[in-house]
Amino acid sequence: MSEQASEVGNALLSWYDRNHRVLPWRIAPADRARGIQPSAYHVWLSEIMLQQTTVRAVQPYFLKFVSRWPNVTALAAEKDDEIMRAWAGLGYYSRARNLKKCAERVAFELGGIFPADVEELKKLPGIGDYTAAAIAAIAFGRRAAVVDGNIERVVARLEQIETPLPAAKSAIKKRMYAFTPGERPGDFAQAMMDLGATICTPKRPACGLCPVSSACSAGGTGEAEKLPVKQAKKPRPVRRGAAFVAVAEDNSILLRKRPGSGLLGGMAEVPTSGWNAKCDGALGAAAAPFAGDWQMAGTITHVFTHFELRLDVYHADFALRPQVDEGWWSPQRELSEEALPTVMKKAIAAAMESTQRKSRPGQGTLI
């Protein structure tokens, strides 16, 4: 290990011991020193949840999951629909589907024990390079190059790597591995995450408070905020479609289940026209799944990873429930228990708000 790497490792671990974030899936350094080991199940679950999501958003979901399913075997034995309901609102729903598949593999084929090796971990559904390295380092103490967005930024600044992303990823990963000590690699990875989240932030990094500023090539030069260099993002395409909120005489709302694969796979939705990431759906009340007094309730916008969706929302009341080929009628008081993604919650909310503005009687409140 180089002198710089040793300096960074020692300084950062010392800082982490005093300043680590308290997170429900973490074992604090003092507890680890007393021999308490991290749960591979907790590390895996939290890392899957944290993909493309903030720590603040994940914490209540993590606590709900481990309370309801305290181990990987319990999670593997649960029905898919129950897991999707519990995941609703966290986004990126393919993660939830892979979560179940991975739990089944570990529980039923590996005896409930996660592998410790990075390459073996990567064979499991939903586990890529980063997640495998994080589990190996944090749960099993294996030396591995853990590189998330925070760590990517820290390493790019430490080494003043000016190659734009994503081309710089390989160099950053190599440098992270060089920095990672053989002792406490998991704590070091988490220290780098915490440093990026609290001090080496994207804007206005607090270089004066950084424990490794003396080893940082970009720190104090005014260049840190420019790193890592990112290519300009291409504008997201805009897709259009229509959503139809049907309300029965008892204030229940018609829902149906989306196909098990693809965008929002396996989630609940109000009927919509056939939009997807590549094409628009039909527009107008004529696209409704059945006849009714469909009234325009407004347009909602929802941003997915690769496109922006604009849904025209229509609402109709029905004294008698229409005959439908698929779906179910969900009482409004139970909508919070349905596996509704955020975009569908927005559509229902728009319909209910429109109804309230028109002072129509008999409407309940939304989730």
Whether 47 is catalytic: yes
Whole-angstrom distance, CA of residue 282 vs CA of residue 304? 19
Sign of CA dihedral 133, 136, 138, 143: negative
Any idea what the Cα angle at residue 82 is, between residues 366 and 98, rounded to 5°? 115
Residue closest to 79 by CA, chosen among 260, 334, 324: 260
Residue closest to 270 by CA, chosen among 330, 204, 310, 333: 330
Amino acid at 328: W
Question: Residues 329, 256: contact at Cβ < 8 Å?
Answer: no
Catalytic residue among 3, 47, 159, 225: 47
Catalytic residues: 47
